[in-house]
C-alpha cells in the first residue's frame, strides 16, 4: 500500500485529504506541524509528502530541507496559498518535486501524487 503524509497546520485540510486519499487505497497519516512531520517521516518513511509551506514553528521550507537531506527518495509536493514565486523557487531549488496552490484541485493533486509514485517505482 502506498504511503502518503499530509502536513498542514489546518486540521480540516489534513482530515479532508486523508479521507480523499484513503478512499483511493493510500495509507495516509497527517501532521499538524513541521516538528510532527519530521517525526512521522522518520518512523513511517512515506512515498509522498504533501507539505504546506506556511506553518508556525518549522515551516514547510525548513521541513523540506531536512526531509531531502535525510530521505532524498521521498517525493515532496509543496501545497501553498502563497503565490509568491520567491518561496516556490526556493522550494524547487531545495528539491521539492512539485507545488500546488490552494484552493486545491483534487483531480490535479491525485494525478500528481500518482505521477510522483510512478517515478519512484
CA–CA separation, 2 and 118 (whole Å): 11
pTM over 0.75: yes
The answer to whether 28 and 18 are in contact (CB under 8 A) is yes
First-to-final CA distance of the chain: 13
Which domains does the chain possess? 2-113 (3.40.50.2300)
Q: Over the stretch 59-92, which tens digit does the pLDDT of each residue have?
A: 999 999 999 999 999 999 999 886 678 888 899 9
Amino acid at each position: 500500500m502506498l504511503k502518503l503524509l499530509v502536513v498542514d497546520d489546518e486540521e480540516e485540510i489534513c482530515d479532508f485529504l486523508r479521507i480523499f486519499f484513503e478512499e483511493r487505497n493510500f495509507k495516509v497519516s497527517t501532521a499538524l506541524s513541521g516538528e510532527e512531520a519530521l517525526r512521522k517521516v522518520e518512523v513511517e518513511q512515506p512515498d509522498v509528502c504533501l507539505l504546506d509551506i506556511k506553518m508556525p514553528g518549522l515551516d514547510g521550507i525548513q521541513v523540506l530541507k531536512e526531509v531531502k537531506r535525510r530521505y532524498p527518495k521521498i517525493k515532496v509536493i509543496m501545497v501553498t496559498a502563497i503565490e509568491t514565486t520567491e518561496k516556490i523557487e526556493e522550494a524547487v531549488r531545495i528539491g521539492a518535486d512539485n507545488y500546488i496552490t490552494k484552493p486545491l484541485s483534487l483531480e490535479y493533486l491525485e494525478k500528481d501524487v500518482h505521477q510522483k509514485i510512478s517515478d519512484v517505482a
